[in-house]
């Protein structure tokens, strides 16, 4: 089982970011953080690379359940989604498989919750 779900689509980069953000919103997830990796590496290291963003997606209901179960689980939150330019008008979008990351805790209650989150993330990627 992979630690991610991914799909490559024909789209502009900005349109793909907007589309995945909308699909996440439909499932109750908001994007709390947006890291522009391309811009950061250019500014800090002078490195050129294709467009690449990391979106920190969070569903408050699931986050509350997880943190109530184990306060340290915040180390594994939010659910990251990447959007990266593969080629002209081709973008890969990938989302974390929450089950894989939560299984590292050894907490069955978190593992059970992560199955739900994993199903949602897989659905979002498939719906791109």
| pLDDT per residue as tens digits for the range 79-123 | 999 999 999 999 999 999 999 999 999 999 999 999 999 999 999
Name 90's Cβ contacts closer than 8 Å, sequence gap at least 6. Answer: 8, 9, 10, 11
Please say whether the beta carbons of 16 and 53 come within 8 A: no
pLDDT at position 31: 98
| pLDDT per residue as tens digits for the range 50-67 | 999 999 999 999 999 999
Question: Which domains, ranges and CATH numbers included, belong to the chain?
Answer: 4-126 (3.30.310.70)
| Distance from C-alpha of 110 to C-alpha of 116, rounded to nearest angstrom | 10
Please say whether the beta carbons of 61 and 87 come within 8 A: no
Please say whether the beta carbons of 59 and 31 come within 8 A: no
pLDDT at 44 over 80: yes
Please say whether the beta carbons of 50 and 68 come within 8 A: no
Q: Please say whether the dihedral angle defined by the alpha carbons of residues 31, 32, 37 and 43, taken in this order, is positive or negative.
A: positive
């Amino acid at each position: 089982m992979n630690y991610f779900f991914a799909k490559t689509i024909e789209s502009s980069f900005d349109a793909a970011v907007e589309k995945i953000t909308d699909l996440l919103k439909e499932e109750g997830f908001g994007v709390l953080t947006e890291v522009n990796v391309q811009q950061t590496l250019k500014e800090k290291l002078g490195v050129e690379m294709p467009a690449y963003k990391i979106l920190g997606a969070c569903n408050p209901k699931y986050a509350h359940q997880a943190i109530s179960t184990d306060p340290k689980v915040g180390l594994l939150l939010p659910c990251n989604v990447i959007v990266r330019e593969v080629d002209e008008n081709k973008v890969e979008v990938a989302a974390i498989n929450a089950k894989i990351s939560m299984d590292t805790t050894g907490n069955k209650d978190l593992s059970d919750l992560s199955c739900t989150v994993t199903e949602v993330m897989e659905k979002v990627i498939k719906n791109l």
